[in-house]
Amino acid sequence: MKKINLTTKLNLKIIGVVLLLMITVTVHNLWLSLQEENEKNALWLVSITDFLIKKKPEGSFSDIAANHGPFQSTQQEIMTINHELQPVLQAVLVPSNIIKFGFYSLEHESIVAIGPHSDVSILLGIDGKPFKKVFYSDTEKFIERKSSLVWHGANAIIHIRPVTDHNGVIIGHAFAAINQDAVNATMWKRTINTLMAAIFMLLVCIVIFRELFNKLKKDMQLFAERILNGCTGNFNSELAEFTPILQYISEQTEKMTRLDRLNIIGEMAAGIAHEVRNPMTTVRGLLQFMGNKQEFANQKEKFSLMIDEIDRANKIITEFLSLAKNRAMNFSENNLNDIIRNIYPLMQADALRNNSNIKIFLGEIPPLFLDQDSIHQLILNMVRNGLDAMPTGGLLHIITAQNEQKVVLSIKDHGLGIPKEDIEKLGTPFFTTKDNGTGLGLAVCYRIVHRHAATLSINSELGEGTVFTIEFEPISSDTLSSIKDTSLSIPK
């Protein structure tokens, strides 16, 4: 037996809930409509009986037929009265053919006039005695009959109003009866038509949503393939509204991928750094020793070149170890401006060697919870990157400010700028735009930023320069007081 997949189950649940809701709403609307219809019909019945009382000729019902007597039977007299009162009945305006009205005579114990169409079977073919119980009333009122003789057994609502002679004596009743079964049937037909139209619209919506889900499924499959290929940056969905969501997922995926790469590099470094570094230190010492011997004086330049290359390799391993370190960072309350002032001479020395200059603009900012050594490394790495981006020299700005609740550190150079296609790759180990770079400096910066729960953004224009912006979340006084007593370790 084939199992029902999750999408089909979800569709069935949605259809079931919507149908239940539609039926509930439809039944409720039917009840409200029926109440409204009954109220409207009741007004019609009252209006009809009032009109009949006002238009009935004076005198008793026998007086109305007296000019045509004497009569051989009561049935002939009833037919004559019905004929005489038909002009009054025909003058009544009725909204539909489900209302009957007329007069009942106590003297004849029978209905003596019926309209809007004269139904002789009610006048002569039905025993009038049961009507006596219905019309036995000295006030106007509504009566609900489950099996009305006026409507030949159908349910009916009847309004009766007493008819009096000139002495005020009740001689009969004017009545108006509506076929309630016909009213209910009309309301049910209307409701069923509405429900069928709603179901049709539901089916149309299901078809539309199914097509929507198919497109969404197709986009998700393509997007998953792009993620595996590492090229989700410019992905656009067929559903324009869904594109921002996929872009957000893409950004988060890139961040996770970058962190995974950092962790992999860190694990690699932790495993091989010391094994490589120890023999390299021995080799460097031996080369330095041999280079100082007189018999190798002619090879001094070659020994110096080998030592330089070993130092370069050692520098790369050192940067590897910076990624691999999982020590507990020494977080404490620090002011970012003080850290920048402390290392400003080092930065300025690097700038002078590069024929450049550094200007700092330090705004009023609250204290932050920082690891001072890591922030030193972060700022120095980014400043040196900015200086390298200005090969002919230039001006580099370091700015601190408070933006709402966040502390912002901006490092702006006026260098060559970074192509847009390379910005997303920055921070990836071994990716570099420098001829002699290792691609690990920014990776270390990203790691430091991540461990401080901060965010790093890059804005660059070719020929204009690049701005690196780091936003730090401030630490509340309650958090600071609780952390002063403990040593916090943020894992890799």
Per residue in 88-137, pLDDT (tens digit) is: 998 888 777 889 999 988 888 888 888 888 777 777 766 656 666 667 77
- Please name which of 297, 5, 56 lies closest in space to residue 161, comparing C-alpha atoms: 56
What is the rounded CA–CA span in Å between residue 284 and residue 309? 10
What is the rounded CA–CA span in Å between residue 54 and residue 369? 95
End-to-end CA distance of the chain: 49
What is the rounded CA–CA span in Å between residue 141 and residue 151? 19
Q: What angle do CA 138, 139, 145 make, to 5 degrees?
A: 100
Length of the chain measured in residues: 492
User: What is the model's pLDDT at position 32?
Assistant: 83
User: What is the model's pLDDT at position 314?
Assistant: 74
User: What is the model's pLDDT at position 462?
Assistant: 84
What region does 153 belong to: left with phi over 0, alpha with psi -120 to 50, or beta? Answer: left
User: What is the model's pLDDT at position 435?
Assistant: 57
**CA distances for 176 relative to 94, 412, 457, angstroms:** 11, 93, 83
Taking a C-beta distance cutoff of 8 angstroms, is the pair 235, 254 a contact? no
Strand order in the sheet with 110-115: 110-115, 99-105, 170-179, 154-164, 141-148
Beta bridge partners of 332: 370
User: What is the model's pLDDT at position 488?
Assistant: 36
User: What is the model's pLDDT at position 320?
Assistant: 59
* Amino acid sitting at position 395: L
Taking a C-beta distance cutoff of 8 angstroms, is the pair 115, 86 a contact? yes
Relative to beta strand 395-403, strand 357-362 is: parallel
Residues of the chain with pLDDT under 50: 1, 477-492
What is the rounded CA–CA span in Å between residue 337 and residue 368? 10
